[in-house]
Amino acid sequence: MIRAMATDGTPKPSRFAAYRREIRFLVIFLAILTGGFTLLSWNPVNEHAVEPFTAGVAKASGVFLNLLGQDVRMDGTVITNSRFAVNIKNGCNGVETMIIFLGAVLAFPAPWKARALGLVLGIVAIQVVNLVRVAALFLTGAYFPDFFEDSHTVVWQSIVILFGVFLWIFWATRFALPPRDAAEGE
């Protein structure tokens, strides 16, 4: 059998071995995404966890909108005032972005302390951005209704997902990876 050799005479790792960490990351990430989105689609999880969470998102958004002088009322996942009403549903509660972020953080080879900190701070940051999203969409619907649909499906959906991705990149490069000097010495 002929094996490829490095210039120093040692055998070269196979393509699989050379990308073992990356493949492991992708497999774990995809498994967490599959499990997370499967759980979301299961009615008992939706009824007992997601819907109450979404009602909490609506309540927090309503409080924020009232601080902005919008005189809104909340009923479950519905926020309404005399100008506009919006019903926050799955897909608008930030849960999908949180699952993507959770999958990426848990799959990334980092110390568990860094993962835990990243998850806590990341989920809070995602929900803050989502709160701004819901408030901005409500205000768009109330004052610029012609722009609501595009703002909802194109602009804000993209912003929240991209925020989650960039947040993960920030976490991975700033907090999860060892300092370059330490990595080079290994």
pLDDT at 3: 55
Q: Is residue 11 part of a domain?
A: no
Residue 1's pLDDT is what? Answer: 52
In the predicted structure, residue 5 carries a pLDDT above the cut 90: no
Q: What is the mean pLDDT of residues 106-123?
A: 94
The least confident of 1-15, 25-39, 162-176 is 1-15
Residue 2 has pLDDT above 60, yes or no: no
User: What total number of domains does the chain contain?
Assistant: 1
Question: 84: which 2 tokens?
Answer: 């506009």
6 belongs to a structural domain: no
Tell me: pLDDT of 105 over 80: yes
Which residues lie below 8 Å from residue 72, measured CB to CB, with a gap of 6+? 62, 65, 66, 79, 80, 81, 138
**Taking the model in full, what pTM does it have?**
0.83
Q: Does residue 68 belong to any structural domain of this protein? A: yes
Is 122 inside a domain boundary?
Answer: yes
Within a domain: 181:
no
In tens, the pLDDT along 51-95 reads 999 999 999 999 999 999 999 999 999 999 999 999 998 888 999
Whether 41 is covered by a domain: the verdict is: yes
User: Taking residues 96-106, what's their average pLDDT?
Assistant: 96
Q: What is the mean pLDDT of the chain?
A: 89
Answer whether residue 161 shows pLDDT above 70: yes
For residue 12, tell me if it sits in a domain: no
Domain containing 157: what range?
20-176
Residue 130, in any domain of the structure = yes
Percent of the chain whose pLDDT exceeds 90: 77
pLDDT average, residue stretch 121-135:
96
- pLDDT, residue 184, reads 46
